[in-house]
Structure 1
Amino acid sequence: MAVRFLAREVSDLCLGKPALRSLPVSATVADALSALKRSGESHVSVWTCEHSLAANGGGDCLCVGKICMVDVICFLCREKNLLNPSSALQSPLSDLLTKSPGIVKHLEPHSSLLEAIDYILEGAQNLIVPIESSRSITSRKKLLNKPSSFGSTLHNGREFCWLTQEDVVRFLLSSIGVFSPIPAYTIESLNAIDTDVMTIYYDDPASSALDSISLSLTEQKSIGVVDECNKLIGEISPYTIACCDETVSAAIMTLSAGDLMAYIDYGGPPEDLVQLVKARLEEKNLGAILDFLEEHSFSSLSSFSSSSSDEEFGLSRSGGSGRYGPERSSEPILCHPWSSLMAVMIQALAHRVTHVWVVEEDYSIVGIVTFAGILKAFRSIAGGVRQNPEGDNSFKH
């Protein structure tokens, strides 16, 4: 029964999914920043379209990546961009795209759920699936060789949605009984715990974790903030940073890991930390980033989001650009090695996080469970696991 369930088409997961809006690969970092602020979405898709070939029956539109606020923030933290952040925002969007291949993958609607899981286990974070709508059918006839407008949902007359790892895990949970007794097994017995974790000491400079922040985004993990006994006391999560705005780049370059957690936690940065960031920028002679911080203050960002037109992207305003909300927290979601797979799935989905930390009773770190680790356990049920890029059958537990 479980194998038959995994043979279901991915189109079943696309029901009710909105058409995916996009940016062309020729856009700038500033364009991506504007799209992220106006959409209220955590990511914006980036596309390349060969419209000049479409009229001759060739060419295609492909999603080549995705951008989130973490990408923008890490980009602004680069040394040369700290010296001239305003100029950095005019850089081409291609400068932000991850060099890791396969982050996004195109998939046909008739593809199986099993194929989708395989792509995720090979590194895909988002699956791009074509969807049919009355608009896309009509537009396919009229707009086949007309370039998509900025923020359009149409690509050569077709519309697409994307499926995330969370979507797939949520779909499996909706029919969890099909996979019995696997969901009741412990995550330890299923080898679902990833022991390759990233940590930083509470008092260490947050800037020392900059490379880890980028890596955690790629691996859908988080950076554990630990005390001198290596016990977990918090985290610096790409999900949390993605809910912030570009001014956090200044905080990353000036604060300790512990202070950064407080800076990006609930309700926006405390005033004393804002002043500390400004003082340290002056000490480091980073006047350009200080001016940038003043220009893009949280109050002006809020007024920008409320006064700007969303017609360019056809998107509703959702929290504006200063997205400091009660859902954002540096408090890690925890489980134990003896927690069941289903319990961990529910935790991750309930808190809308991509990972759950695994700790002992004294909060010493055992590892981390990601959506990919969860899906690996379900994938093993189908058997015949195809080899991963490294050539071993590590998808099988």
Structure 2
Amino acid sequence: MAVRFLAREVSDMCLGKPQLRPLPISASVSDALSALRTTGESSVSVWKCEHSSPKKTANLDSCRCVGKVCMVDIICFLCREDNLSSPSIALQAPISDLIGNNARLVKHLDPHSRLSEAIDCILDGAQNLIIPIDNKLSKSRNKQPTTTLHNGQEFCWLTLEDVVRFILNSIGVFSPVSAMSIDSLHIIDPHVMTIHYEEPASSALNYISRSLIEQKSVAVVDEHIRIIGEISPNTLGCCDKTVAAAISTLSAGDLTSYIDYGGPPEDLVRLVKVTLKEKKLEGMYLMMEEISTSSRTTATTSGCSSSSDDKIGLVRRNGGTGRYPQKMRRSEAIICHPWSSLVAVMVQALAHRMSHVWVVGEDHCLLGIVTFYGILHVFRNIARHKPEGETSFRL
């Protein structure tokens, strides 16, 4: 049954997916920032279309998604030393400066491709799969004329979360593997990125960029390597561009407070502004002044929503003030243990809209991390090592 399930077409996952709103390769960083605000998506797709001439043949190859941009890309871009002093100028830079080598993070895939092929693409490094949408289905769903973009062809994209959630909805077909512990499945990755809570947050910039590519987070730890928070791409993606100023001026521990649920505390906002003045970063200071306090509250998009009141598997930072007791703080780390089952970890990650779960031991010290990539490796190996009709499973 598992093998047959992995042979399903990726189009089965596209039902109800919204049409991608393209951003041209000629756009600026500021355009990308506006698109993120307008669409409410965690990232926007960047396209290169070559069918401006009516003589061009209408085909899918004339329209290609060449990359994606998210808020973390913009934040890291603004944190560059040459951009901190003049962020307004930096925002006018071409969007190609952001996508750079990230073009491999997106990949076009035929809608009739198998789920196993989609997983292969993801394991090869793709984070978003671009799938053509059946125009007839789109018309009947929307009851609107077909778009004139992309020669009339519409596209959607599938993320790692989409694929893992699709598998979880039919997790029964993967029994008994789904009930096995993550330790026995050997998917605990010990190679974690950590920063001490008293270190400057700016020293983690390279880690933040890596975490976006690897779909991980940066663990904020104490002297005993106990995790007390995290700097996550998911969390930063829910913030505004002023977080670049916070990263450049605060410690890692203070940054986790700055990006907590409910918006940054006023004392930290004042500290950031004072430090910006001391460093003579007037441009970044003015950018913070332009953004009202109300715009720094929690984003209302679905991609930035936290779970409700469930506190299972969360680690609170030492010295937390408990200002928002009814909701999970965005910078809190989601944890599990080596003996946690695969399905439990999947549920935990998806419930909190995260692509990873931290693994800690009985002494609460950090042991590693489980990511969607590791989870998908397990299900892909089922198709490689379990012939149709065989009832046992060997990893």
Which TM bucket (shorter chain)?
0.7 to 0.9
Residue 69 of structure 2 aligns to which amino acid in structure 1? I
Q: Distance in 1 between matches of 2:224 and 2:100?
A: 34
- Give the equivalent residue in structure 1 for 2:109: 107
Tell me the TM-score normalised to structure 2 length.
0.86
Residue 130 of structure 1 aligns to which amino acid in structure 2? P
- Give the equivalent residue in structure 1 for 2:322: none
The alignment status of 1:157 with 2:152, answered yes or no, reads yes
Residue 251 of structure 1 aligns to which amino acid in structure 2? A
- Give the equivalent residue in structure 2 for 1:294: 289
Q: Is the 8 A contact 2:67 2:103 kept in 1?
A: no
1:143 to partner: Cα distance: 9.0
- Give the equivalent residue in structure 2 for 1:45: 45
- Give the equivalent residue in structure 2 for 1:370: 371
Q: Distance in 2 between matches of 1:384 and 1:177?
A: 18
Per the alignment, in what secondary structure is the counterpart of residue 333 of structure 2?
coil
- Give the equivalent residue in structure 1 for 2:66: 64
The alignment status of 1:200 with 2:195, answered yes or no, reads yes
1:137 to partner: Cα distance: 7.4
- Give the equivalent residue in structure 1 for 2:321: none
- Pick from 75, 78, 81 the counterpart of residue 76 of structure 1: 78
- Pick from 223, 227, 234 the counterpart of residue 239 of structure 1: 234
Q: Is the 8 A contact 1:14 1:163 kept in 2?
A: yes
- When residues 338 and 209 of structure 1 are mapped into structure 2, their CA distance, relative to the original with a 3 A threshold, is same
**Cα-to-partner distance string for 1:170-197 (whole Å, 9 max, x where unaligned):** 1111111111110011111111111111
Q: How many residues align?
A: 359
Per the alignment, in what secondary structure is the counterpart of residue 129 of structure 1?
strand
Per the alignment, in what secondary structure is the counterpart of residue 245 of structure 2?
helix
Per the alignment, in what secondary structure is the counterpart of residue 48 of structure 2?
strand
Q: Distance in 2 between matches of 1:227 and 1:355?
A: 21
1:14 to partner: Cα distance: 0.5
The alignment status of 1:331 with 2:326, answered yes or no, reads no
Gaps of 5+ in 2: 307-326, 387-393
1:384 to partner: Cα distance: 6.4
1:296 to partner: Cα distance: 2.6
- Give the equivalent residue in structure 1 for 2:390: none
Same amino acid, percent of matched pairs: 64
**Cα-to-partner distance string for 1:225-275 (whole Å, 9 max, x where unaligned):** 000111111111110000000011000000000000000001000000000
- Give the equivalent residue in structure 2 for 1:168: 163
**Cα-to-partner distance string for 1:29-69 (whole Å, 9 max, x where unaligned):** 11110111122111111111011466332761011111111
1:100 to partner: Cα distance: 3.8
- Pick from 91, 116, 119 the counterpart of residue 118 of structure 2: 116
- Give the equivalent residue in structure 1 for 2:94: 92
**Cα-to-partner distance string for 1:80-135 (whole Å, 9 max, x where unaligned):** 11111101110001111141452011111100000000011111111100001349
Q: Is the 8 A contact 1:243 1:328 kept in 2?
A: no
Per the alignment, in what secondary structure is the counterpart of residue 363 of structure 1?
coil
Residue 70 of structure 2 aligns to which amino acid in structure 1? C
Q: Is the 8 A contact 1:359 1:367 kept in 2?
A: yes
Per the alignment, in what secondary structure is the counterpart of residue 4 of structure 1?
helix
- When residues 353 and 54 of structure 1 are mapped into structure 2, their CA distance, relative to the original with a 3 A threshold, is farther
The alignment status of 1:252 with 2:247, answered yes or no, reads yes
**Cα-to-partner distance string for 1:5-29 (whole Å, 9 max, x where unaligned):** 1000000000111111110011001
Residue 119 of structure 2 aligns to which amino acid in structure 1? I
Q: Distance in 2 between matches of 1:341 and 1:26?
A: 43
- Give the equivalent residue in structure 2 for 1:319: 300
- Give the equivalent residue in structure 2 for 1:225: 220
1:291 to partner: Cα distance: 1.2
1:157 to partner: Cα distance: 1.1
Q: Distance in 1 between matches of 2:365 and 2:257?
A: 22
- Give the equivalent residue in structure 2 for 1:266: 261
Gaps of 5+ in 1: 149-153, 303-317, 386-395
Q: Is the 8 A contact 2:220 2:227 kept in 1?
A: yes
